[in-house]
Amino acid sequence: MDQISKQLSVVTARVRAAAAGAGRDASDIRLIAVSKTRTATEIRSLYKAGVHDFGENYLQETAPKLEVLADLDICWHFIGALQSNKTRAIANHFDWVHTVHRKKIAQRLSDARPTEQAPLNLLIQVNLDAEPQKAGIAPEALAELLHAVIPLPRVRWRGLMAIPKPVGPGSDAGKPFGQLRALFDECRSVGGEHWDTLSMGMSADFEIAISHGATLVRIGTALFGPRRS
């Protein structure tokens, strides 16, 4: 608990400093603790320290955590690859999905979202660098997809997400974040009143992402320590 609290204090101080440097209010930036491979006990400790947003990659791994931590008011974010046969469970148990990039998946999430729950918050994942090993829609296809999925009734389109590839020495590390911000702004008129979210930046680069407008940063290693295999 003490170590997690200390690491959280360091991360939040860095978020505040990055926000101040960009002329932004740190309260506009939400910290998502990436809890993949982490135990329910670790999640509970971080929740008690003040983090209420947690990101998970795998439904099978997350399911027991959801049950054990049901007494906590956690906002669960699905940040992993989406499979069609998992959409019903994800639509039932998560509050946000960051990795939508196909109309079929969006339709299934909308169809499966229970009517008694608030609309499911969705982000479109963009593959900025056309990396074959990564999911995401090509930037040039983004507007067409957004127009196609905006009418879906049980979801709320909030913005964009990306995982840029690492840049080499001497390269502009902020360039891909600037590209995503530009795409976000271009789609604002289509996205509508809830279009307010840029999910970008992880432990190694979240300060750069904040300088380019990130509103959600996904932090794992900097909070929990080195990732478990």
Q: What is the pLDDT of residue 169?
A: 64
Phi, psi angle pair for 219, to nearest 5°: -115, 120
Within 13 Å of residue 53, how many CA atoms lie on the same side as its CB? 17
pLDDT at 130: 81
In a domain, 68, yes or no: yes
The CA–CA distances, whole Å, from 124 to 55, 63, 219 equal 16, 24, 19
End-to-end CA distance of the chain: 22
* Contact (Cβ atoms closer than 8 angstroms) between residue 187 and residue 150: no
| pTM of the full structure | 0.95
What's the confidence (pLDDT) of residue 170? 61
Residues 214 and 206: beta-carbon distance below 8 Å = yes
What does the pLDDT read at residue 3?
Answer: 86
In a domain, 229, yes or no: no
Which pLDDT score is estimated for 229? 58
Domain assignment present for 162: yes
Query: What total number of domains does the chain contain?
Result: 1
Looking up tokens 């478990």 gives 228
- Neighbouring C-beta atoms of residue 130, cutoff 10 Å: 10
pLDDT at 129: 87
Q: What is d(CA 91, CA 114) in angstroms, rounded to the nearest whole number? A: 8
CATH number at residue 16: 3.20.20.10
pLDDT averaged over consecutive 10-residue blocks of the chain (229 residues)? Answer: 88 98 97 96 95 97 97 98 95 98 97 97 94 90 97 98 80 90 96 96 96 98 82
Angle subtended by helix axes 40-48 and 59-68, to nearest 10: 60
What kind and span of H or E run contains 75? Answer: strand 75-78
Domain that holds residue 207: 2-224
Provide the pLDDT for residue 168. Answer: 64
Q: Is residue 38 part of a domain?
A: yes
Provide the pLDDT for residue 131. Answer: 83
Dihedral sign computed on CA atoms, order 79, 80, 81, 84: negative
